[in-house]
Amino acid sequence: MNGLIKIAAYSMAIGLLVNPLYAQEPEEEFNEQKSAELFLENYSDEFQENFFEALKQKGIENYDKAINLLLKCKNIDPGKLVVDHELAKVYLKEKEYPLAEDYAFEALQNEPDNLWYADTFVEALRKQGKEFDNAKNQLPNHQKLNENLALAYFKKRDYETALSILKNADKSDFAAALAVKINDSLEKRKDEITSTSFSVSSENNAEVNTFNQYKVQIDNFLRTDNLIMLEKISSEALESFPSQPLLYYAQGRALNKKGKHREAIELLETGLDYLIGDISLGNKFYQELSDAYNSINNSVRANMYLRKIKPGF
């Protein structure tokens, strides 16, 4: 009976942590920063000055300065994992995902029971489309780490990966409660798929036809450089097809040509998250982003994207 009570209590705690996840991300960021501040109380003045200035620069999206300041912190004291973690987070913002993974791994490997480190590491893997199985052998076999990783994947709604991690973990009340949550979510997903399979099949055919119609129009407006219609149609299409990178490129290009460079950058960088395997379209994204950053006098970012262009495509 005591075991069941404990599992119920853990289940309630997991529910409180997970259910409001997407609504409370800024609060989590604040809590993490407060914890970092408390953790840094015993550090040198020089270290603290650079570290908190880095957090400030990250907060105002001046990521290049934040990275330089954090690297100074590493030179002052190379062993501080909080710096590796912050570097991982800034590189995630910069979409430099391999670097984010390296720094997140360094932090997590040395402090495997840290939930924030696990969450950032998982985010870096997912941004690159990497399977967890390819990374797990590099990590220590640590009970709390396994629980944190499973929770991180559960929060990302990757229930299968979360469950596979738990199966390799030792039994605990927390693991049992999380497994219940995961299995419940898998059952709900299965029921939704079963109940809507026919209607989804019909709707998908209609959606493909509709997207193809949008694509024909957008290709024409890109060719003729009709910026007004390009922005209008791509904006309309994005409401129905938010994971199509072509639409982000089209609207980003229209905004960039109209002088709305910062809006263009935001859209284009969001669209890169959905771009997989299309080198030609990728080159167009990078060129447009390079032009946009040059327009706001950020030559560092402009050159970074220019270097990403692959010749011959």
Between CA 185 and CA 15 the distance in angstroms is 12
One-letter identity of residue 120: T
Between CA 67 and CA 83 the distance in angstroms is 10
pTM, two decimals, is: 0.57
**Residue 210, pLDDT score:** 83
158-208, pLDDT tens digit by residue? 888 999 999 888 889 999 999 999 998 888 877 765 654 444 444 455 555
Between CA 250 and CA 241 the distance in angstroms is 13
Residue-range domain boundaries for the chain:
2-170, 198-308
**Residue 42, pLDDT score:** 58
Between CA 54 and CA 43 the distance in angstroms is 15
24-62, pLDDT tens digit by residue? 343 444 455 544 554 555 566 888 899 999 999 988 889
Measured in degrees and rounded to the nearest 5, phi and psi for residue 161 equal -65, -40
Maximal C-alpha separation, the chain: 72
Beta strands in 50-90 (DSSP E): none
| 284: exposed, middle or buried (Cβ count in 10 Å: 0-12, 13-18, 19+) | buried
Per run of 10 residues, the mean pLDDT along the chain (length 313 residues) is 46 44 40 51 77 90 93 89 94 90 94 93 86 85 92 88 90 91 84 51 55 88 89 88 90 93 92 86 93 91 90 71
For residues 272 and 245, the answer to whether their CB atoms sit within 8 Å is yes
2-170 and 198-308 share one CATH topology? yes
**Residue 263, pLDDT score:** 92
**Residue 193, pLDDT score:** 54
Neighbours of 283 (CB within 10 A): 16
**Residue 195, pLDDT score:** 53
Average pLDDT, the chain: 81
The CATH superfamily holding the domain 198-308 is Tetratricopeptide repeat domain (1.25.40.10)
CATH number for 2-170 (one of 3.20.20.140, 1.25.40.10, 1.20.120.430, 3.40.1710.10): it is: 1.25.40.10
Tracing tokens 């199509």 back to the chain, one arrives at 244
Q: Buried (b) or exposed (e) across 1-25, using 16+ Cβ within 10 A?
A: eeeeeebeebbeebeeeeeeeeeee
**Residue 207, pLDDT score:** 55
Between CA 116 and CA 123 the distance in angstroms is 11
Neighbours of 285 (CB within 10 A): 23
**Residue 39, pLDDT score:** 53
**Residue 18, pLDDT score:** 46
